[in-house]
């Protein structure tokens, strides 16, 4: 069960904020040969690795048009409708992130602006496993489509029959993704980073994955391929006071805990009584979960921390921890929300469970973990564009700004920089 800490001293915060750290080094030695193999042998390597690692025995790993088209008929109408409504919501929120940048005249005749231009080729990775993560297809595919990325490809491992869950194919199709490959793990990252005969090379790779996928993404980053963000186990921190509904809070803690044994769950509460109430509710709900074993293990590594003053030490600890997801389970969440400095996504009040953001509220669920919320944002429309700056200077502008540039270039001892201005000024 959750371990309880009572108003811990700041000296202890660092320990209380520790995530399970995995050494890249060991995994790297396994992943590097896979990357090299795919880089060198292309499709051949993919076919062999599909057999060896995913027990998928086929020379054909391209999802056919027919497979994509028939996916819709294999999922219920209610699931189709839910996915379509989620898509509408996610679209609304991400379309609002479009930037309208008006040119700025920084001096008379010196005009500067910037323009968002889609990254031409992006690759999305969707992990396999028991659960078909079609929600992640939406979270990555929708902003890619809004940005206007010309080539959006998707890799995901099939089951041993060579099938991909129809909900994944359906979600991909409605996001305009037509290039889908049955490839998983580090070999999928390698295929998208370096390209093969069948898989186009992309400029940026998105998506979650196991430690091999994560290591592969870090490694191709060193080769100049951009990635969405460093990944780690999912996390939730809840700030709750006496107004919180214990059953709601317990259900949120468990929804995080069921992700995996290494899921991180932290409860900050100003009341010992409420904390105990939440723990009791948690015990009750835990028994009914199909993924009880996983959730129980995650919960046993998790913490409940009493902070008498949530608006002071409580939020300070939350910012120190920098959670991926932050639920503020208070009657009036605004005051605490204003003080949030480090978090991926924030869920306000009693009726906003994390699962709303995971699926359908409209915000993105690809968020910084492992304390990276101190410096990283979640995936957004920004993640799929470059913001290119432009400038144009008129005669009057150059006459005004020219001498400034000359003076500065001179002081930096860059004569040719100065000369590029002087030679123009002389002709005006």
Q: Are strands 264-269 and 235-240 parallel, antiparallel or unpaired?
A: parallel
CB 138 within 8 A of CB 87: yes
Site residues for a copy of itself, 274-333, by CB under 8 A, read: 285, 288-291, 295, 333
Count of CB atoms situated within 10 Å of the CB of 227: 20
| CA dihedral (162, 165, 170, 173) positive or negative | negative
Binding mask 405-424 for a copy of itself (x = CB under 8 A): x-xxx-xxxxxxxxxxx-xx
Q: Is 5 an interacting residue with respect to a copy of itself (CB under 8 A)?
A: no
- Nearest approach, Cβ of 52 to a copy of itself (angstroms)? 27
The count of residues in the chain is: 428
- Closer to a copy of itself by Cβ: residue 197 or 288: 288
Q: Is 195 an interacting residue with respect to a copy of itself (CB under 8 A)?
A: no
Q: Is 213 an interacting residue with respect to a copy of itself (CB under 8 A)?
A: no
**Residue 325 is a catalytic residue:** yes
Pick one of 2, 46, 86, 237: the residue that binds a copy of itself (CB under 8 A). 86
Site residues for a copy of itself, 35-74, by CB under 8 A, read: none
Among 237, 179, 212, 180, CA closest to 367: 237
Site residues for a copy of itself, 345-384, by CB under 8 A, read: 345-364, 368, 370-378, 380, 382
Structure tokens at 234: 């999912």
Q: Is 212 an interacting residue with respect to a copy of itself (CB under 8 A)?
A: no
Helices (DSSP H) in 243-353: which residue ranges?
246-257, 272-286, 292-300, 315-321, 334-338
- Nearest approach, Cβ of 258 to a copy of itself (angstroms)? 4
Q: Is 16 an interacting residue with respect to a copy of itself (CB under 8 A)?
A: no
Q: What is the DSSP string of 41-93?
A: HHHHHHHHHHHHHH----S--BPPHHHHHHHGGGS-HHHHHHHHHHHHHHHHH
Site residues for a copy of itself, 111-170, by CB under 8 A, read: 112, 114, 117, 119-120, 130-135, 167
Q: Is 102 an interacting residue with respect to a copy of itself (CB under 8 A)?
A: yes
Q: Is 189 an interacting residue with respect to a copy of itself (CB under 8 A)?
A: no
Going by C-beta distance under 8 Å and a sequence separation of 6 or more, which residues neighbour residue 103? 111, 112, 113
- Closer to a copy of itself by Cβ: residue 51 or 395: 395
Pick one of 32, 82, 162, 198: the residue that binds a copy of itself (CB under 8 A). 82
Count of CB atoms situated within 10 Å of the CB of 103: 12
Q: Pick the catalytic residue: 325, 350, 354, 365? A: 325
- Closer to a copy of itself by Cβ: residue 4 or 340: 340
**Residue 324 is a catalytic residue:** yes
SS3 label, residue 269: strand
Active site residues: 324-325
């Amino acid at each position: 069960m959750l371990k309880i800490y009572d108003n811990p001293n700041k000296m202890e915060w660092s320990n209380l904020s520790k995530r399970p750290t995995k050494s890249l080094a060991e995994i790297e030695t396994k992943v590097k040969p896979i990357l090299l193999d795919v880089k060198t042998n292309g499709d051949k390597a993919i076919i062999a690795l599909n057999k060896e690692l995913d027990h998928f025995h086929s020379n054909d790993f391209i999802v056919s048009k027919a497979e994509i088209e028939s996916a819709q008929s294999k999922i219920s109408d209610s699931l189709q409708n839910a996915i379509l409504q989620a898509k509408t919501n996610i679209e609304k929120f991400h379309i609002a992130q479009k930037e309208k940048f008006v040119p700025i005249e920084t001096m008379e005749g010196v005009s500067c602006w910037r323009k968002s231009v889609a990254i031409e080729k992006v690759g999305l990775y969707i992990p396999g496993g028991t659960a078909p993560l079609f929600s992640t297809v939406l979270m990555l595919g929708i902003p890619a489509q809004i940005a206007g990325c010309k080539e959006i490809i998707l890799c995901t491992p099939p089951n041993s029959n060579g099938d991909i869950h129809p909900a994944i194919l359906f979600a991909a199709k409605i996001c305009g993704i037509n290039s889908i490959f049955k490839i998983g793990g580090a070999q999928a990252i390698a295929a998208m980073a370096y390209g093969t005969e069948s898989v186009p090379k992309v400029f940026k790779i998105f998506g979650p994955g196991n430690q091999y996928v994560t290591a592969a993404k870090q490694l191709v980053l060193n080769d100049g391929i951009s990635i969405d963000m460093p990944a780690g186990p999912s996390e939730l921190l809840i700030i709750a006071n006496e107004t919180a509904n214990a059953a709601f809070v317990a259900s949120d803690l468990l929804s995080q805990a069921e992700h995996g044994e290494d899921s991180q769950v932290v409860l900050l509460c100003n009341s010992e009584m409420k904390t105990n109430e939440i723990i009791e509710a948690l015990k009750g709900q835990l028994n009914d979960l199909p993924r009880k074993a996983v959730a129980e293990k995650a919960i046993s590594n998790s913490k409940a921390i009493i902070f008498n003053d949530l608006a002071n030490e409580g939020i300070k600890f939350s910012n120190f921890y920098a959670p991926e997801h932050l639920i503020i389970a208070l009657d009036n969440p605004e005051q605490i929300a204003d003080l949030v400095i480090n978090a991926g996504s924030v869920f306000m009040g009693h009726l906003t469970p994390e699962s709303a953001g995971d699926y359908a509220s409209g915000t993105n669920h690809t968020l910084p973990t492992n304390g990276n919320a101190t410096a990283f944002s979640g995936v957004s429309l920004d993640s799929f564009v470059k913001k290119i700056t432009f400038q144009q200077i008129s005669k009057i502008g150059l006459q005004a700004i020219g001498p400034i540039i000359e003076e500065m270039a001179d002081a930096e001892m860059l004569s040719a920089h100065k000369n590029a201005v002087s030679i123009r000024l002389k002709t005006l």
